[in-house]
Structure 1
Amino acid sequence: MKPIQILQLYPKDMNLYGDWGNTLTLQKRLEWRGIPVEVVDHNPGDSTDFRAADIILGGGGQDAGQAAIQADLLAHSEILRELVADGMPMLMICGLYQMFGRRFLTGEGTEIRGIGVIPAETRAMEARLIGNITLENAEFGTIVGYENHSGQTFLDAGVKPFGTVKLGAGNNDADGVEGAWVKNLIGTYLHGALLPRNPQVADYLLSKALERRAVTGDLDELEGYSAETGLLPLTEVDQIARSAHEDALKRSR
């Protein structure tokens, strides 16, 4: 079969705090199941076929990084909105989470426009929200990570968050929720990187990618996946991931 393609958005400018580890986690969890995979980078000015991707990932970056990618991201806003509506799985961390909303107002009053996929906007605040964070999610259970952001995001009414905050701040210092979940797009402030310590989220993204590929008829029988059972478990690997997850739960803010 054609390899599952993981598309990284702007890794040169948006890769703070090891967010590239999310890509590596998805890549290895496919390879360990015998599923072919390729990783493609998109940086400003590249002529990338976004429709060829199966999963799209993006990381965090400073205000300067967000400004550097703004024009290119806006130029691809229509196709990204189309792919989100079509159910393509995506994970956007921190800076790109903000830019998938309507806008980010910096501390200097500069507006960095977003693409409006997530009904939300972000404003820079004096307080920096930083430290270990734990969420609860009805589908994924407990999620652990690390947040470090001065921008505070405010979801529109009715937007589904990624999780309810049990330890930490989350989107802002008032609402008690973290991230946003639109179709199969997850936006979140959780670094860490997120996926190595939360393999259930990684496999959600992979399963949605494989399900979407199956709908098009471009999915052969695979050693590590079937339409009936989904992805095969990675028992030994996930024991290590669970240990990392449990260790994170023991840490204070």
Structure 2
Amino acid sequence: MTDTGATVRILQLYPDELGVTGDAGNVAVLRTRLERSGIHVSVETHRPGDALDGEPDIVVIGNGPLSAIRRVHADAVANRATLTDWAQRVPFFAVGAGLELLCSRIEDASGQWEGLGLVSAVAHRGRPRRVGYVIADASPTSGAAGSRRITGFEDQATELTGVQTPFATIVRDVTGSVSRGDGVRTATITGTLLQGPLLPLNPWLADELADAAATHAGAHYEPDASLAELDRLADRAAERMRAHVSSVFTTIQ
């Protein structure tokens, strides 16, 4: 491990409201992988009413219920100009409701309201609920050929429409073999409806996000050898989850 002298600023938006499915674990994984690789890390949070001071190197937005989106909505809209500007350069990782907040519009049985419009998709709440482990294939953010395996968990009743480029294609869920898109991917935004938290189970994705954050901070990220043991444990956990994709949970209507 070499001290690069750079500091990566990780900003977690609304950790109290949008952090109910282990989303702090995603932040912890990014911090651990960067710090073990010789890069200083500052983890900051933004809560409703706070000022957004200074451009971070990565923004993480977690999951929560519809009521949580409603509680943070006014603050998010008030900061839309800043977040939209950041999204031109700063990597974003958004999960579940956090991704819905970034969409152009959110709809449910009671009506619809505007999202931040950082991605062009529309989030439709109230669809048949899916609960269970899934296996998906995702294209690397670097644009390299091929795909990478994603192991995750879904517990959501949201459908996204108008997605230009999905984050991943789910190939197996509680119903068996499938082929349906998950999430959104843009040049800077990686958004998914898969929970878990996702990054501890999928170190390759954590490394891509850590690399993007380090690059924004002007640093070079090279995963330290000490992370190999964490990767091995993640692979074992993901393998066990994949073995039970179709046998543990059933779809909730």
Q: What is the CA-CA distance between 1:236 and the residue it aligns to? A: 1.7
Q: What is the CA-CA distance between 1:50 and the residue it aligns to? A: 4.7
Structure 1, unmatched stretches of 5+, are 220-224
**2:241 aligned with 1:237, yes or no?**
no
Aligned length: 232
Query: Do the aligned partners of 1:145 and 1:192 also contact (CA within 8 Å) in 2?
Result: yes
With 12-21 and 137-146 compared, the bigger mean Cα shift is at 137-146
* Of 48, 51, 63, the match for 1:44: 48
User: Counterpart in 1 of 2:161?
Assistant: 154
Letter in 2 for 1:252: V
User: Counterpart in 1 of 2:72?
Assistant: 69
Query: Do the aligned partners of 1:63 and 1:106 also contact (CA within 8 Å) in 2?
Result: no
User: Counterpart in 2 of 1:97?
Assistant: 99
Query: Do the aligned partners of 2:33 and 2:223 also contact (CA within 8 Å) in 1?
Result: no
**2:192 aligned with 1:188, yes or no?**
yes
Letter in 1 for 2:165: K
- TM-score in terms of structure 2 length: 0.86
Q: What is the CA-CA distance between 1:31 and the residue it aligns to? A: 2.0
**How big is the alpha-carbon RMSD for the aligned residues of Structure 1 and Structure 2?**
1.8
Counterparts of 1:168 and 1:75, CA distance in 2: 38
- TM-score in terms of structure 1 length: 0.86
Post-superposition CA distance 1:204-230 (Å, at most 9, x none): 01111122222xxxx4xxxxx46xxx4
User: Counterpart in 1 of 2:113?
Assistant: 112
User: Counterpart in 1 of 2:143?
Assistant: none
Structure-to-structure mapping, 1:1-253, within 5 angstroms: 1-51=5-55, 53-86=56-89, 88-109=90-111, 111-139=112-140, 141-156=148-163, 159-168=164-173, 176-214=180-218, 219=219, 225=220, 230-233=222-225, 234-253=227-246
> SS where residue 52 of structure 2 aligns?
coil
Query: Do the aligned partners of 2:92 and 2:190 also contact (CA within 8 Å) in 1?
Result: yes
Percent sequence identity over aligned pairs: 28
Query: Do the aligned partners of 2:17 and 2:72 also contact (CA within 8 Å) in 1?
Result: yes
Post-superposition CA distance 1:169-194 (Å, at most 9, x none): 9xxxx971111001121110111000
Counterparts of 1:143 and 1:210, CA distance in 2: 23
Counterparts of 1:50 and 1:129, CA distance in 2: 38
